[in-house]
Amino acid sequence: MDVSSLVPAEFRAMVASFMAPGEPAVEVAHVEDRVIANEVPVRIYRPGGDGPFGCLLFLHGSGWVIMSVDTHDHEARALCNRGNVVVVSVDYRLAPEHKFPAAVDDCWGALEWVVASAAELGIDPGRIAVGGDSAGGNLSAVVSQLAEPKPALAILIYPVCDLSEKRDSYRLFGEGFFLTERNMDWYRANYLPDDEAGRDPRASPLLAADVSGLPRTHLAVAGFDPLRDEGLAYGARLRDAGVDVRVALHEGAIHGFANTVGVGRTSAAAMRDAAEALKTL
């Protein structure tokens, strides 16, 4: 679908309508909507049983422009249950109304709130992870670099890693594989205030001067994805810097598999893999 001619607000309404749950949501023990520091809305999912639990700060895709905690409710619930962790899903500010680095600031602030609220949330402050898909994977990588102390784990699902250049996977998979080159250009233009911002490591985590000391990372890459090569490059940078990174290349998958677990074995297996990494790491 070519989104380049759409107005963001109209696109959000369209996405919300076709992603509305058509069946009962996956049950979790408790769900709570809150507004935290700096007026950032979050949705908190809790598993059953006694804590303290690990925690996942979950940052949704898509393109920093559309989607919300509502469109990613199923993913958050599944990760809560399968990972047996408290999930804090962040409804960060969207572009173009709020350009870069507004989303970064919201997500970084949300992580700081989680750390400060560990006792209230019933979580182990030493077992806090950050993760998300696509633009959420980008924000998760950036927050992992900015945060002190570092999270214990990063779950990066087909993340955007470099907005400063296009690699060969754009040529190979820029048309016909759900996420197109034109769509990425539209997301980028809406998110960034100017071209120079694409060279900022807070927008392009692959460009960070130093990636040593980052948390353990599970990096899921889709084989048929314009973002494939930059994801693999980020994984290689982490490995070269001595970071404990596991790169899971799902060769038969396209970008967006986190949202299609009900329609394909490849997508479901990839998300089970991410949830298992969250649980075991």
Supply the pLDDT for residue 190.
Answer: 97
How many domains does one find in the chain? 1
**Given this model, what pLDDT does residue 256 score?**
87
pLDDT score of 265: 60
Active-site residue among 73, 133, 162, 225?
225
The residue to which tokens 């250049």 are assigned: 165
Inside any domain, residue 250? yes
Pick the catalytic residue from 68, 89, 134, 267: 134
pLDDT computed for residue 98 by the predictor? 98
93 burial (CB, 10 Å; 0-12 / 13-18 / 19+) is: middle
In a domain, 107, yes or no: yes
Q: Which of 106, 169, 255, 267 is catalytic?
A: 255
134: annotated active-site residue: yes
* Cβ neighbours of residue 49 closer than 8 Å, sequence gap 6 or more: 29, 84
Per the domain annotation, does 3 fall within a domain? no
Confidence at residue 18, expressed as pLDDT on a 0 to 100 scale: 67
pLDDT along the chain (281 residues), means of 10: 77 75 75 95 95 96 93 91 95 98 98 97 96 97 97 97 98 94 96 98 98 97 97 98 96 82 57 77 66
**Known active-site residue 225:** yes
The pLDDT of residue 126 is 96
Q: Has residue 1 been placed in a domain? A: no
Q: Partners of 216 in the beta sheet?
A: 153
Helices (H) and strands (E) in the chain, counts: 9, 8
Element (H, E) at 33: strand 30-36
The confidence score (pLDDT) of residue 88 equals: 98
- Is 30 inside a domain boundary? yes
Q: Is the peptide bond before 96 cis (omega within 30 degrees of 0)?
A: yes
- Secondary structure, 3-state, 167-205: CHHHHHHCCCCCCCHHHHHHHHHHHCCCHHHHHCCCCCH
- Rounded Cα–Cα distance for residues 42 and 211 (Å): 28
pTM to 2 decimal places: 0.93
Q: Structural domain of residue 217, as residue ranges?
A: 8-280
Q: What is the pLDDT of residue 19?
A: 65
The dihedral through the CA atoms of 160, 162, 163, 168 has a sign that is: negative
CATH number at residue 213: 3.40.50.1820
**Inside any domain, residue 35:** yes
Asked whether residue 262 is domain-assigned, the answer is yes
